Structure 1
């Protein structure tokens, strides 16, 4: 998805759909593929991000003298940051293309969304090159940093990019010379590209990205959206159980009993520490196992047999000290 062609394919391909009443049963292979991809359930973080993106895109639409307000999605690993980023990006892409259909003879009128990954050990030049690669802007070894930046800004504005999504922002370290140059580049791009910038990274506020003068500038322009682990209870609501229910309703298993997973909400919360990424992986793996072994249902025993990601396993099954 870090090229326009890849992003367009992602954004325009219908997401996996749960089984519908009256629909013909899907084959075993179709159901395995479905649970492998699975649905994206709405979470408080996705709702908050979508609301803020809409507002800031309107706010910055006619702002040309300074950098537009931006957003930072932060939180621990496996908390759903990238999922939220991609979901909002796809929604923006589809809304724009619906309002602005391509003229006759052209596949696409504009490029509304860009998605860029910060490369490991990013320098200003490697980061700019990632921006260029997304739109297929030719970059040669003889080009200077300024020339690449000029080409990127001109092409992005000409293409009509309105939303720039930058993932893995925690890889930037402004305390190093190269990291500081890369951070300065991002500030330059936000002032020259007429788009709303949304960043995502692991626990960004605890990284050097928010330290020093550069960090103060970023903090002064960016709204923070936190993707925290879902609490078992929040006031009178039960966010974690609500997500479990949504995931269970999306299952395509022949013999699964509705209500089984919500009944095990306490176990599932302990097992995943409330992380949406770990939870969806656990349920997807259990569903795939249920199809392959023929049981076609998810039980607590089946859930307990799933080997989860190391982060979740360390949380729930700590090694005993001798």
Structure 2
């Protein structure tokens, strides 16, 4: 036990150093130490000193890092999803059955992963607020991604074990190369999830798995939900369709429905309509490119206004982004990921060139890198 505690402490120290040196790398978010750091993280808008910026402003790493790491501004879909999942987590904690999964779906680049993490952070903050802060040995949220090889259930369990810090860390590259297969950590993972009172599991990028691969692991996720009361949020492009197909493969719903229809006809009863599969009834939050057309002129401009509020530039003109709404929409297609990249890059360019404002010149420089 002492050796494993020492290994975990060394691992956490390494992760904290890694986050300090490269805070925006995604890896730590899939480990408990990094996730808790993300939940507690406060990205503060740098204050602007009186007068003009000094000569060292162009090398101001704090200001540059802030604009590289701009927060996900609220949209109607984000607010709705956060409220829905947080409410579901609280509701599920008070019922013995009937827990429902949730799905985040939509084209690539619409901000699904950002939304998934925002939902998880909001849920954990709500849970911890209700229990007077973070409790030792309590892990309310688990955040994993689809394994690089999603063929076997053991690889999915390994992802959860990695987040929880259960799997032994390789001591060298040679040891990594010698690993032929992951050991089955299902029992220790189940034990920790139960004793740590885990209530929400975020599963990102399920589009990397095939319907058959998902079908093989869905019974395990059902076990976590039905026995341990863990609410599941699946995220990825085509997630709802993938889950629907996986459910059909996992439970052979098509065959069962057809057999039931034949049985009823032979008994002289009219065939009852086929009831929808469990996945067809899942709450799905769809993220689409932000619109800017004759039917909706407000949503995209509202998002730009929120970004303007977050910018910290000395000479930022009023409505600096909003006045270029049509051009920004044309260049990004309304895709949230591309829009965030353009605004963030334009802001960093404004600091480094000394313009301290976002005009078409900075936007041109940012979008040139998208070509």
Query: Structure 2 length as normaliser, TM-score?
Result: 0.73
Aligned to 2:91: 59
Match of 1:71 among 102, 112, 127: 102
Pairwise CA distance, 1:297: 1.1
Correspondence list, 1:128-167, <5 A: 128-138=157-167, 145=184, 148-167=185-204
Match of 1:116 among 137, 144, 149: 144
1:1-36 deviations in whole A, cap 9, x for unaligned? Answer: 11111111111121x223568899895222111101
Match of 1:210 among 238, 241, 244: 244
Structure 1 residues 58 and 196: CA distance shift in structure 2, 3 A: same
Say whether 1:227 aligns with 2:262.
no
Separation of aligned partners in 1, 2:293 and 2:225: 38
Match of 1:240 among 300, 322, 337: 300
Separation of aligned partners in 1, 2:364 and 2:238: 29
Larger Rg: 2
Between 267-276 and 23-32, report the one with greater CA deviation. Answer: 23-32
1:249-300 deviations in whole A, cap 9, x for unaligned? Answer: 2111111211121011111111111111111110000110111111111111
Say whether 1:45 aligns with 2:77.
yes
Q: Which runs of 5+ in 2 are unaligned?
A: 1-28, 170-178, 251-275
Aligned to 1:29: 61
Aligned to 1:17: 44
Pairwise CA distance, 1:69: 0.3
Aligned to 2:205: 168
Structure 1 residues 205 and 111: CA distance shift in structure 2, 3 A: closer
Structure 1 residues 139 and 219: CA distance shift in structure 2, 3 A: farther
Separation of aligned partners in 2, 1:295 and 1:82: 33
Aligned to 2:17: none
Structure 1 residues 43 and 102: CA distance shift in structure 2, 3 A: closer
How many residues were matched structurally? 301
Aligned to 2:338: 278
Match of 2:63, SS? helix
1:101-136 deviations in whole A, cap 9, x for unaligned? Answer: 369xxx635211110111133121100111112112
Between 235-244 and 116-125, report the one with greater CA deviation. Answer: 235-244
Aligned to 1:89: 120
Match of 2:224, SS? helix
Structure 1 residues 210 and 47: CA distance shift in structure 2, 3 A: same
Match of 2:103, SS? strand
Aligned to 1:320: none
Pairwise CA distance, 1:218: 5.1
Match of 1:305, SS? helix
8 Å contact from structure 2 (residues 46, 66) kept in 1: no
Separation of aligned partners in 2, 1:196 and 1:255: 46
Separation of aligned partners in 2, 1:23 and 1:214: 64
Between 229-238 and 287-296, report the one with greater CA deviation. Answer: 229-238
Separation of aligned partners in 2, 1:8 and 1:282: 29
8 Å contact from structure 1 (residues 172, 182) kept in 2: no
Structure 1 residues 224 and 6: CA distance shift in structure 2, 3 A: same
Q: Which runs of 5+ in 1 are unaligned?
A: 314-322
Separation of aligned partners in 2, 1:277 and 1:203: 18
Separation of aligned partners in 1, 2:278 and 2:330: 35
8 Å contact from structure 2 (residues 320, 359) kept in 1: yes
8 Å contact from structure 2 (residues 144, 159) kept in 1: yes
Higher helix share: 2
